[in-house]
Amino acid sequence: MRAARDTLGMSDATAAVLLFDGFEELDAIGPYDVLRTASDAGAPLDSVTQVTAEPVERVTASKGTLVTPHGRLDTADPPDYLVVPGGGWVERADTGAWAAAERGVVQEAIADCHAAGTTVASVCTGAMLLARAGLLDGRPAVTHGSATADLEATDARVVDARVVDDGDVLTAGGVTAGIDLALWLVEREWGEAVADAVEQTLEYERSPDVYSA
């Protein structure tokens, strides 16, 4: 596990949100907004980007939002923090987390980043991609309620909480829980004052329902 950072005497960190066709919009944009706002509030985040596992010009989210990613995830020089959204898992859709898991490219990139030292966080059914990548074996975790049975069928230990923190791997429940996950990560890494500033800017009251292993 990486040591927690503070705003004094530490080099700037990098964070990325991993996109793929069919991702759930708020799963990704919520944490992205929190992390970008945290950077403005004093967190030493050198960059917060939206990336893909493969080189593509544009990504289409589950509800049709079109996103132009900043670039491709560099697993050779991975970010300090990686957020993985969900979407389309329960429906077994031809795009989204299920389709990404079946192809294998996304979870391979996730596993490579984690092996290189990246703290990986998932939102909603993004947890299933972490499970496929082997990151949740024996660990406490949570996902969207509709996919709980699927997560229970893996080697993860399902926990009833909005956010689950197991050090270098974090998971969150459905959709809006990604905002709480990102705010918790900000508080954990850069302090309550920064998290409070982000919360006030976004006019969002974060949930205290965090399970910390």
Instruction: Give the domain ranges of the chain.
Output: 17-206
List pLDDT tens digits, range 134-144. Answer: 999 999 999 99
- Cα separations in angstroms, 187 against 60, 166, 197, 206: 31, 15, 10, 11
pLDDT at 9: 39
pLDDT at 213: 87
Determine phi and psi for 4, rounding to 5 degrees: -65, 140
pLDDT at 10: 52
Give pLDDT < 50 ranges for the chain.
1-9
At residue 109, the 3 state secondary structure works out as: helix
Measured from the Cβ of residue 193, the count of other Cβ atoms closer than 10 Å reads 12
Residues with a known catalytic role: 124
Decide which of 2.30.30.100, 3.60.21.10, 3.30.2350.10, 3.40.50.880 is the CATH code for 17-206.
Answer: 3.40.50.880
Contact 48, 182 (CB under 8 A): no
pLDDT at 4: 42
pLDDT at 35: 98
The per-residue b/e assignment along 50-73, b for 16 or more CB within 10 angstroms, e otherwise, is: bbbbeeeeebbbbeeeebebeeeb
Pair of tokens at residue 130: 């972490």
- Largest interatomic CA distance in the chain: 47
Query: What is the CA angle 105-77-72, rounded to 5?
Result: 45
The CB-side HSE value for 104 (13 A sphere, CA atoms) comes to 0
